[in-house]
Amino acid sequence: MGILYIIATPIGNLSDITARALEILKEVDLVVCEDTRQTIKLLNHYQIKKPLVSYFQHSKLSKIEYIAEQLRRGKNAALVTDAGTPGISDPGGMLVNKLTGEQANKEKIRIVPIPGPCAAVAALSVSGFPTDKFLFMGFPPHKKGREKYFKEIAAARRTIVFYESTHRILKALEQLAALIPQRQIVVAREITKMFETIYRGTAKQILEILNSDKNNLKGEFVVVVNKI
């Protein structure tokens, strides 16, 4: 039976990959990735050539079965996402869930974590907010359930961290400004990348900064909300 390695990859700066992750990527028989176009950039940078198998949110169950069959045949595989740790607000979580199900446990499929970058933890580490207890809430819903989502954030008695896209960050901050106008917030943009920026203040204050220059709205965002 082969091994599936869950490998965290850089969230922007390619130098952030660990030595152990590179060793495993060089040794495995295949790499399971969210987007082959993204993963090939990383592998090419480190001169690693491996067969790539795509696995993303809308992959069919037959793809999971194909990966499981490769493991049954004794092949070792690496699961990577486009950036960060697989399974954290990422479709890789479903693959791991299926491979650790009842039948998989009988087959003793071994799954090994290779830790590394995670945007949520990176943002928390520079927030200055209490992190002995925190709640990670992934991405807010686009439409249905969005209002409830932000009300849960407003009522939370622990630090909250969530992801938001460039297209919805203003809307997210507007909702936070309406619900918790005085609460301190940290917004991390493009973590580890060239234009990495950390914004601190109330939701209204950060909104004003983001709206002052359209370039401030480019990239991926992590939002950290201080507890009550």
Give residue-wise pLDDT tens across range 72-106.
999 999 999 999 999 898 878 888 888 887 555 56
Q: Looking at residue 107, what is its pLDDT?
A: 66
Residue 224, CA atoms < 13 Å, CB-side half-sphere: 25
109 and 41, same domain (yes or no)? yes
Q: Looking at residue 97, what is its pLDDT?
A: 87
Q: Looking at residue 63, what is its pLDDT?
A: 85
Residues 6+ apart with CB under 8 A from 23: none
Q: Which of 99, 114, 129 is the last residue of a domain?
A: 114
* β partners of residue 112: 5
124 and 102, same domain (yes or no)? no
152 and 64, same domain (yes or no)? no
105 and 143, same domain (yes or no)? no
| Domain range enclosing 58 | 3-114
Q: Looking at residue 81, what is its pLDDT?
A: 93
Distance CA 43, CA 171 (A): 36
Q: What is the mean pLDDT of each run of 10 residues along the chain (228 residues)?
A: 95 96 98 93 97 82 87 95 90 84 67 96 97 96 94 96 96 97 97 96 97 93 96
Q: Looking at residue 184, what is its pLDDT?
A: 97
Q: Which of 68, 85, 114 is the last residue of a domain?
A: 114
110 and 123, same domain (yes or no)? no
